[in-house]
Amino acid sequence: MAIHPPEVKIWWKEPIHSIEIWWVLIALVWSLVMFVMMPYWHVYGEQNLSNEAYRVTPEYFGEKVEEMVDKYTIREEGDTGIPVVAPPVGSDVFLLGRLWEWYPILELKKGESYRLHLSSMDWMHGFSLQPTNINLQVHPGYDFVVTVTPNESGKFAIICNEFCGIGHHTMVGRMYVTE
């Protein structure tokens, strides 16, 4: 029994149950398939995160955001007048998270690619784009660059899904994708 020392003292020389051998082999093959799927998707899949990230200070990142907002704001929204920014196709687009808002509102074009920069001004935040369901971690001090290509148009919410204090549940941003 499993609560007694093995009866056969040289247990490591015992032959293995054939069902066990088969199962180990099948499971090992499946494990290898699951490993191969990840590099495979990097080659053939369209949803892969970049390896591009930079160390930044919140001040520097904040300036980059303001530069973009000054140049490309098209209107304002919400009670607090959050700028809606329509940056040129293919450009560097900046989005910051801070207690407790995403800033600014971005308006992108469907089917076009943008270099989206994400960073936090203070604590850790979670970028959760809904309802499409893309979830990325946003750190203070790191500029995370992801090239995004929207494949649907409409109004999207950016929900913070990393706990960031008592106002966490009010941290909802917006993003538009136009045809």
Partner 1 sequence: MSIMSKFRICPETGLYFDDQAEKLIKWNAVTGVVFLLIGGLFGVLMALTRWSEVHILPADWFYLLLTAHGLDALIVWIIFFEMAVLYVASSTLLKVRVAAPRWGWLGYWLMLIGAIITNIMVLEGDSSVMFTSYPPMKAHPLFYLGIIVFAVGALIQVFCFFGTLVLAKEQKTYEGSLPLVTFGALTAAIIAVFTIASGAIILVPTLLWSIGYIAHIDPLMYKTIWWAMGHSSQQINVAAHVSIWYLIAAIVFGAKPLSEKVSRMAFLFYIFFLQLASAHHLLVEPGLSSEWKIFNTSYAMYLAVLGSMIHGLTVPGSIEAAQRKKGFNKGLFEWLRRAPWSNPVFSGMFMSLVMFGFLGGITGVIMGTEQINIIMHNTLYVPGHFHATVVAGTTLTFMAISYFLVPILFRRELWLPGLARWQPYIYGLGVAGISVFMMAAGTLGVSRRHWDNNFADATLGFDYPSAAHMFLALNGVSGVLAGVGGAAFCIIMVGTILWGKKKADVPAAQPAPEPEPAVHTAGSAGTIAVPGTFVLALIFLGSFILYYYVNWKYLSEVWGLS
Q: Which of residues 140-159 bind partner 1 (CB under 8 A)?
A: 140-144, 146-152, 157, 159
2 interacts with partner 1 by CB under 8 A: yes
Report how far residue 170's alpha carbon sits from residue 96's, in angstroms, rounded to the nearest whole number.
16
Q: Provide the CB-side half-sphere exposure for 39 (13 A, CA).
A: 4
Indicate the pairing of strand 101-103 with strand 73-77.
unpaired
163 interacts with partner 1 by CB under 8 A: yes
69 interacts with partner 1 by CB under 8 A: no
Total Cβ atoms within 10 A of residue 77: 13
- Positive or negative torsion for Cα 76, 70, 99, 139: positive
The smaller minimum CB distance to partner 1, of residues 86 and 168, is found at 168
The smaller minimum CB distance to partner 1, of residues 66 and 161, is found at 161
63 interacts with partner 1 by CB under 8 A: no
Q: Which tokens hold the place of 106? A: 């971005």
Report how far residue 168's alpha carbon sits from residue 179's, in angstroms, rounded to the nearest whole number.
32
Residue type, 31: S
35 interacts with partner 1 by CB under 8 A: yes
The smaller minimum CB distance to partner 1, of residues 19 and 179, is found at 19
Q: Binding partner 1 by CB under 8 A: which of 83, 87, 97, 173?
A: 173
74 interacts with partner 1 by CB under 8 A: no
73 interacts with partner 1 by CB under 8 A: no
43 interacts with partner 1 by CB under 8 A: no
Q: How far is the CB of 85 from partner 1 (least distance, A)?
A: 15
**Closest CA relative to residue 151, chosen from 128, 118, 133, 177:** 177
Interface characters, 117-136, with partner 1 (x: CB under 8 A): -x---xxx-x-xxxxxxxxx
